[in-house]
Structure 1
Amino acid sequence: MRDSLPPPGPGELREPESVYLGRQPILDPHGALHAYELLFRDSPENLARVHDDFQATAHVVARTVGEIGLSAVLGDYRGYVNMNRTLLFDDIVHIMPPERFVLEVLETVTFDDALLKRCAQLRAAGFQFALDDVVQLDDALLGVLPYVDTVKIDFLAAGQGDLPELAATLKRHGKTLIAEKIETHQHFAQARKLGFDLFQGYFFARPQVLASRRASPSRTALLRLLALLAGDPGIGELEAELKLNPGVVLQLLRLANSSAFGLGRRVSSLRDAITATGTRQIMRWTQLLLYADGRGLPWRSDPLVQLVGTRARFMELAAGIMRPSDEAFADAAFMTGIFSLVHVVVDLPAAEILARLNLAAEIRAAIVDGQGELGALLRISQAADRGDAPELDSSVASGPAFAGLTPAVLAKLQVEAATWFAAHRLE
């Protein structure tokens, strides 16, 4: 059912005034709401203009967790989110609270040993899995059943004569069954008779489009400010640019007055805030604002900002152990961590947005292709996020430069990074 369009052409970052999200109810046999499937929408029109499954899901998650908010989108219910193979291995999973989301694996995904291992890790972390668009019983389906909790059967595409055996077999394996694409009362009655647990389709409701005003400051303004900061501006020049971004000024004042600086006095002027924090810290927290998008929430309540902030600090600390006197390498490690998730919030592929940001080639290569020592550090941080001990061991063993990053040291760095983020939270 996913439409396709060609990818966006070159030009400015798209910065619409509103953000959109589709949701379609999943109901129980009595017609009561059980969950929602969350769908990508880029306008008030109820159309799935998807040119990239990865990017579409990234925006669904970012809008649900951050820009619109979990409570507004899901209430007390779970959200089903489409996941392809790349997404299952990506950091975006760590943004989603496992008790609120069901990972819906697309029908195009091929399960191999690596993916089955990943699914087992995510299930151990508390996630539930649904298998999407099942139409027939075969060996491949039977092989993945131990790794999924729910099976969604395409009621229109499945052979009507095969449905009884398909449903009965899946029920014997203890799976929750969802009949999707239920379009008539006859379909609904038939699915209930076959023992389906949940139902979804146009017979009940078409997807609803949710909209929210995009927060301010805009990401375009933040990127302009970052470009200025990269040029080592004077206080007057920086003050003039910041005055064009009142949302950033508010966050900066809150940062300067946070527990991180312990100045013993309240900072009330913009110039005092710049002096108190310094351009290096202003740059770092402006980078984080790309993810928070200027929202007035306490940052510790935003899982995306928390993930990227602690990761960047973790990488910076690890770089300091690898090269104790190389501040430039530590800064590059921090920026690699910061921009490793930029594809989640900017409507462009990672390689394209990183090129537009004019980041150093080694940072781009680390994020896009996992190359170099920064790429290895990024893999270590991702493995630490997942608690993947075998991958941590193999990454650390990849070269003598990493010899100092023992498991005990990495565990210590994780605590220090989390403490640093907590000290800098904006309340």
Structure 2
Amino acid sequence: MSSPPDTALQQPPNATAQPAQDDADNQVVIARQAILDEHRAVFGYELFDRTTSADSHTASSDAALLFNALSYAGSEALVGKKLVFINCTHASLAGGHLELIHPEKVVLEVPTLPADAAPEQIEQMVHTLQALRTRGFRIAFSQDVLRRAYASWLPLASFIKLDMQAFKPELAGPLVKFAQTNSQAAVVAEKVETAEQHAMMASLGVKLFQGYWFAKPSLVKAQTIRPSQATIIQLINLVRQQASTAEIEDLLKKDPTLSFNLLRFINSSGFGLSCEITSFRHAVMILGLKKLFRWAALLLTTSRKDGAPPAVGQTAVVRGRLMELLAAELLPPEECDNAFVVGVFSLLDAMLGIPLERALETVALPQPVLDALLHKSGVFAPFLELTRACESGDDEAFARTAEALHLSNRQVNWAHLQALAWAESINDA
């Protein structure tokens, strides 16, 4: 018996073109593997980040995968109207990125805890999982959830995935029976590699299947159209100031790539709208300032080139906020926004992989901002030096610049803590 053909498993024709080498940094590559029902029709797709190994993904990589799948790879081509199964770390379950998607479209694959986890740690997760279920997410667990220690998790399971490579064939019956008797979850037989495995699981009443016998994971490649880091930061600034819809709309009109990404994201199947949004004003009103802020922050950290370390975007945001808070102690309110821009833009070279001078050519900035960034001079220069000293732990530079600005250690340290907490809230609030 050969593998069943399924045209739905073929790669989307618009996502397979080999890009030019020059565009390699602007390409998203996501792997997907189909989950089939008893009639061998596609029930859903599990998505994988091919840039991250299975045992090293983090909350940040989870957010980037889901964000890229919806924003860049064209979710209609990637998953159509099917369910999306996404592997999650426990840390990512509280991430703000989950508020940007429609819960009914996504199944969160949640791992059990390490073998040495204490019973109270397992129980503490119940509240988080229950909150996700209340919001409408479905949750999938591996067969490890069938262990006695996880009895409190079982009622929260929508899917239980049985790994055909993880147990002997004679245990299949007892495992399926236990799962069906003690939960309302649908059983998925995964890593099915032979016709015999499929037939055995089907005879036990299993109706969902995933594995190489049906289809190997296929790579979906898409060219991204990414707005400049500078424009994204302008958008973040407008949202932070609670600017009017008209002001935000004006910025979107000035940058086609930014508006294109926003409309593509809000119209993706994962966002769950029943009608297509075509106006920028409508998109901003539908999304709201809180979600628009999260979207822009995620766009900022996922728009960097491959060579930029993952922490660069976060560090830039901390710098901006810290400079803004320090400037608020000494400068007029209108100058604080420019201080924020100096801090964030001071890492544009690392984020874009090009010299800072060249990066700054793409955006019009006030002369005092350019003086601080390019010449280390002017009103903002000592604030930037103090911010860098906070990052590096340079006590001598810290003492010298804080004294020159007449700021106490307590003022600076408190501002730094506030900046770190604020930056963390971008993804986790």
**TMscore range, shorter length:** 0.5 to 0.7
The residue that corresponds to 1:116 in the other structure is 126
The residue that corresponds to 2:229 in the other structure is 222
Equivalent of residue 152 in structure 2, options 143, 148, 151: 143
The residue that corresponds to 2:41 in the other structure is 32
Alpha-carbon distance in structure 1 between the residues aligned to 2:260 and 2:153: 42
Q: For structure 2, list consecutive stretches of 5 or more residues without a partner in the other structure.
A: 1-22, 238-243, 273-282, 326-339, 345-390, 392-414
Is the alpha carbon distance of 1:139 and 1:341 closer, same or farther for their aligned partners in structure 2, counting shifts above 3 Å?
Answer: farther
The one-letter code of the counterpart of 1:105 is V
Which shifted more, 177-186 or 342-351?
Answer: 342-351
The one-letter code of the counterpart of 1:176 is A
Is the alpha carbon distance of 1:145 and 1:50 closer, same or farther for their aligned partners in structure 2, counting shifts above 3 Å?
Answer: closer
The residue that corresponds to 2:100 in the other structure is 95
Contact 1:226 1:286 in 2 (8 A): no
Contact 2:97 2:427 in 1 (8 A): no
Is the alpha carbon distance of 1:289 and 1:93 closer, same or farther for their aligned partners in structure 2, counting shifts above 3 Å?
Answer: farther
Is the alpha carbon distance of 1:172 and 1:282 closer, same or farther for their aligned partners in structure 2, counting shifts above 3 Å?
Answer: closer
> Deviations 1:299-353 (Å, cap 9, x if unpaired)?
754769969861288xxxxxxxxxxxxxxxxxxxx8x996477445556676432
The one-letter code of the counterpart of 1:76 is K
The residue that corresponds to 1:204 in the other structure is 214
Is the alpha carbon distance of 1:112 and 1:337 closer, same or farther for their aligned partners in structure 2, counting shifts above 3 Å?
Answer: same
SS of the residue aligned with 2:167?
coil
Mapped pair 1:130 → 2:140? yes
Equivalent of residue 418 in structure 2, options 349, 368, 372: 372
The residue that corresponds to 2:397 in the other structure is none
Equivalent of residue 189 in structure 1, options 194, 199, 202: 199
Quote how far apart the aligned CAs of 1:210 are: 0.8
Contact 1:98 1:127 in 2 (8 A): yes
Alpha-carbon distance in structure 1 between the residues aligned to 2:73 and 2:180: 36
Quote how far apart the aligned CAs of 1:164 are: 1.4
Is the alpha carbon distance of 1:50 and 1:170 closer, same or farther for their aligned partners in structure 2, counting shifts above 3 Å?
Answer: closer
> Deviations 1:23-58 (Å, cap 9, x if unpaired)?
10001122121111111124xxxx958743333322
Mapped pair 1:297 → 2:259? no
Quote how far apart the aligned CAs of 1:143 are: 2.4
Quote how far apart the aligned CAs of 1:297 are: 2.4
The one-letter code of the counterpart of 1:295 is N
Larger radius of gyration: 2
The one-letter code of the counterpart of 2:149 is A
Aligned length: 290
The residue that corresponds to 1:170 in the other structure is 179
Alpha-carbon distance in structure 2 between the residues aligned to 1:283 and 1:113: 49
Mapped pair 1:84 → 2:89? yes
Quote how far apart the aligned CAs of 1:377 are: 10
SS of the residue aligned with 2:153?
helix
TM-score (norm 2): 0.56
The one-letter code of the counterpart of 2:418 is G
Alpha-carbon distance in structure 2 between the residues aligned to 1:71 and 1:154: 29
Contact 1:55 1:349 in 2 (8 A): no
Equivalent of residue 354 in structure 1, options 285, 293, 314: 314
The residue that corresponds to 1:70 in the other structure is 75
Contact 2:145 2:151 in 1 (8 A): no
Percent of aligned positions that are identical: 22
Contact 1:91 1:341 in 2 (8 A): no
Alpha-carbon distance in structure 2 between the residues aligned to 1:98 and 1:91: 13
The one-letter code of the counterpart of 2:312 is E
Alpha-carbon distance in structure 1 between the residues aligned to 2:157 and 2:303: 29
The residue that corresponds to 2:7 in the other structure is none
- For 1:231-242, what aligned pairs fall within 5 Å after superposition? none
Which shifted more, 122-131 or 158-167?
Answer: 158-167
The residue that corresponds to 1:155 in the other structure is 164
Is the alpha carbon distance of 1:198 and 1:15 closer, same or farther for their aligned partners in structure 2, counting shifts above 3 Å?
Answer: same
Contact 2:229 2:303 in 1 (8 A): no
Mapped pair 1:310 → 2:270? no
Quote how far apart the aligned CAs of 1:289 are: 9.1
Quote how far apart the aligned CAs of 1:77 are: 0.8
TM-score (norm 1): 0.56
Alpha-carbon distance in structure 2 between the residues aligned to 1:68 and 1:187: 33
Q: Once superposed, what is the RMSD of the aligned Cα atoms?
A: 4.4
Quote how far apart the aligned CAs of 1:86 are: 0.6
Alpha-carbon distance in structure 2 between the residues aligned to 1:181 and 1:60: 22
Alpha-carbon distance in structure 2 between the residues aligned to 1:88 and 1:115: 10
Is the alpha carbon distance of 1:342 and 1:112 closer, same or farther for their aligned partners in structure 2, counting shifts above 3 Å?
Answer: farther
The residue that corresponds to 2:384 in the other structure is none
Alpha-carbon distance in structure 2 between the residues aligned to 1:345 and 1:216: 6
Q: For structure 1, list consecutive stretches of 5 or more residues without a partner in the other structure.
A: 1-13, 231-258, 262-276, 314-333, 384-427
